[in-house]
Amino acid sequence: VQPVTRHPAGERPAPDDVDETVEFWRRENPDLDVVTKEAAMRLRRAGHALEKSLRHELAALGVEAWELEMLLALRRASGCCSSAGGLMRDSGVTSGAITNRLDRLEERGLVRREPDPSDRRQIRVVLTDGGRARADRFLAAKSQAEQAFFAGVDRDLLARLAGDLRTLLAAHQSACPDG
Amino acid sequence: VQPVTRHPAGERPAPDDVDETVEFWRRENPDLDVVTKEAAMRLRRAGHALEKSLRHELAALGVEAWELEMLLALRRASGCCSSAGGLMRDSGVTSGAITNRLDRLEERGLVRREPDPSDRRQIRVVLTDGGRARADRFLAAKSQAEQAFFAGVDRDLLARLAGDLRTLLAAHQSACPDG
DNA sequence: TAAGATTGAACAGTCAATCTTA
DNA sequence: TAAGATTGACTGTTCAATCTTA
């Protein structure tokens, strides 16, 4: 990957509303670390924009984010099995939320709860055939939506962004629901 | 800003769980655009990690994210005035949520609702002295938490990250509650 | 005792309907 | 008619308490 210079020929990008907000706070407090503030705001906004965009695309197709997260997490648990605790840990929501989500998915016949023979405190959650088909169909839709979100962005820049975010994440082992 | 090469001397970073998940889906579907998938996952995870971290630090000090968002938005509305609709637009939540938030803040004496003389459909929300002091105190705490979050990251990388995210955001004009 | 899953109360958000004023 | 704010029904989450098994 070739490094990409930020401002090819000394061009300065036009200030956007993040710049304006950072500048406001810097005027209020000259000690403010503007690079950190800018990075924090942009990271948060970009993450929100991505989530909002995916949520919108998927909702239009008739699936909600929490549902697809669950189905994909189960799909990835290759043997098609996982415990409620496992789902909790890699989705980042509480155990009560997992119970609630499983109730709704089970009602619709997308998953089944089965007793775990080796530890009867746990349950094993298995994807039904219908659940698996639904996961696969909407994974494709999600991937398309992600491509659309990044459509206007240069490939090299995108790769560099991914690499830099990897570095950032290495310092913050993070659970996050994703596919 | 000097461009920073990703892998200085041909070193490859150790695969993390994002790499593993992307690789899993690529095996299932060789057509998958891995760069896009990786960027999407990392952006989402990094955003979540930042939010979670800030939420945790601030909660320990006795303030919730939604409250600080509101106070900072009002603080930034320089004349100390803003309408409910304005707050709605730059926080990204619905008008019902704004009404609810204002009720709770007003109850605690942090804001006041005042009639707008020029358009009696609107209200003007003003920060009380107590609300302003609280905003300033917790803005400082928030900025510290952001610095802590990015503490392990090289400054040049952080600046480049901010620049790349600016490019990304330029294509997605996004409302987002922030300070 | 501790771990895993469930329950129910409290909380915060959306959405659609309503009320008031432009 | 339309715009701004509020209301109420509903959804989904957290949190603390509970039940069962290790």
pLDDT tens track for B103-151: 999 999 999 999 999 999 999 999 999 999 999 999 999 999 999 999 9
Cβ of A144 near strand C (distance < 7 A): no
The mean pLDDT of A157-172, rounded to a whole number, is 96
CA pseudo-torsion sign B74, B79, B80, B82: negative
Q: How confident is the model at residue B78 (pLDDT cuts 50, 70, 90)?
A: low
Q: How confident is the model at residue B77 (pLDDT cuts 50, 70, 90)?
A: confident
Range B58-66, long-range pairs (CB < 8 A, 24+ positions)? B58/B138, B58/B141, B58/B142, B58/B145, B61/B138, B61/B141, B63/B134, B63/B138, B63/B141, B66/B101, B66/B177
How many CA atoms within 13 Å lie on the side-chain side of B93? Answer: 16
The mean pLDDT of A170-179, rounded to a whole number, is 68
Cβ of A135 near strand C (distance < 7 A): no
Cβ of B113 near strand D (distance < 7 A): yes
Instruction: List all residues 6 or more positions away from A16 whose beta carbon is below 8 Å from its beta carbon.
Output: B166, B169, B170
Q: Which of A65-74, A95-104, A166-175 has the lowest mean pLDDT?
A: A166-175
Name the percent of chain A lying above pLDDT 70.
Answer: 88
The mean pLDDT of A56-61, rounded to a whole number, is 94
Q: Which of A1-5, A32-36, B28-32, B39-43 has the lowest mean pLDDT?
A: A1-5
Distance of A47 CA from D5 C1′ (whole Å): 30
Angstrom distance (rounded) from CA B110 to CA B125: 10
pLDDT at A178: 61
CA closest to C1' of D8 belongs to B96
Name the percent of chain B lying above pLDDT 70.
Answer: 88
Closest nucleotide to residue A98 (Cα to C1')? C5
Contacting residues of B for A166, CB less than 8 Å apart:
13, 16, 18, 42
Name the percent of chain B lying above pLDDT 90.
Answer: 84
Task: Please answer yes or no on whether A25 and B162 come within 8 Å at the CB atom.
Answer: no
For testing the chain A interface, which of B50, B56, B136 should be mutated: the one with the most A CBs within 10 Å?
Answer: B50
pLDDT at B1: 46
Angstrom distance (rounded) from CA B27 to CA A76: 11
The mean pLDDT of A125-135, rounded to a whole number, is 96
pTM of structure: 0.93
Average pLDDT over chain A, rounded to an integer? 91
Angstrom distance (rounded) from CA A27 to CA A21: 10
Which of A44, A18, A74, A149 lies closest to B39 in space, CA to CA? A149
Q: How confident is the model at residue A19 (pLDDT cuts 50, 70, 90)?
A: very high
The secondary structure of A141-174 as a DSSP string is HHHHHHHHHTTTS-HHHHHHHHHHHHHHHHTS--
pLDDT at A179: 57
Angstrom distance (rounded) from CA B83 to CA B108: 19
The mean pLDDT of A128-153, rounded to a whole number, is 97
pLDDT at B4: 60
Q: From B153, which residue of chain A is nearest by alpha-carbon distance?
A: A168
pLDDT tens track for A76-116: 986 656 999 999 998 999 999 999 999 999 999 999 999 99
Average pLDDT over chain B, rounded to an integer? 91
pLDDT at B3: 59
Q: How confident is the model at residue B47 (pLDDT cuts 50, 70, 90)?
A: very high
Q: Give the A window 97-126 contacts with B, CB below 8 Å.
A: none
Q: How confident is the model at residue A1 (pLDDT cuts 50, 70, 90)?
A: very low
pLDDT at A49: 95
